[in-house]
Amino acid sequence: MTTRLAWIAGVAGGIGSACQRRLTAHGWTVIGSDLPGVDLSSPQSAEAWLPHALDSRTLDAAVHTIGMSGRRLGDGPVSQCTDEAWDAVLRVNLTSAFRFLRLALRNASPGASIVVIGSALATTLDDDFLTAAYRTSKAAIVPLVQAAAHEGAARGIRVNVVSPGLVDTAMAARALTDPAITARLDTLMPLGGTAVTADEVASAVDWLLSDGSARTTGAVIPVDGGWTLR
């Protein structure tokens, strides 16, 4: 029996690694991509790599977990955000999601499920997390995914967003080591004042790849401890 095949973009750590572990444990065959070998912010890289990795098969699932914070490059309030941060964050977070979706749709089996990781920061405003480039890049993922979901529906392909709050990964280290922010976690996430784990995000992804979500497409699934309820 042929196992189901999933492509996870961004497997070097954090959410991508958690998704890979979960799918592998459930019997999926997973092909993973990440820098430096496959750069989805570059037009040619994945287009050349994916057909070889698929080896004449098609995808039953695809998950995009690639993302960066632009703080070190000067991301911040609109009046302070640097051109370098804006260009880099939009390229890595949004353009790579577009190229991922384009490739995933072209190589997906009928009935496949595709998931892109968004962020609760796309729809919330907070002085401690006021990053214009990051927020814009994650907010724009929603209409992009909805367009892909509309296109894929004719072939039974589902496309959804999982939108985490503050996740305990290396990218969130600045926030999670800031006493002023950690003291506010109960307010930020009323369901429990601890950061979301990568495994909790992977669990939501797992559901969207399962038959249990067969009628769900174009949706944004929050895994944020209630952050977006504030």
Q: Sign of the CA dihedral 163, 166, 168, 174?
A: positive
Residue written as token pair 């503050």: 166
The CA distance from 41 to 66, in Å, is 10
- Inter-residue contact 161 to 145 (CB < 8 Å): yes
Catalytic residues: 134
CB 11 within 8 A of CB 62: no
Contact predicate 125/139, CB 8 Å: no
Which residue, chain included where needed, has tokens 């109960």? Answer: 186
Q: Measured between alpha carbons, how far is residue 35 from residues 76, 91, 92, 145 in Å?
A: 25, 14, 11, 23
Structure tokens at 133: 């480039």
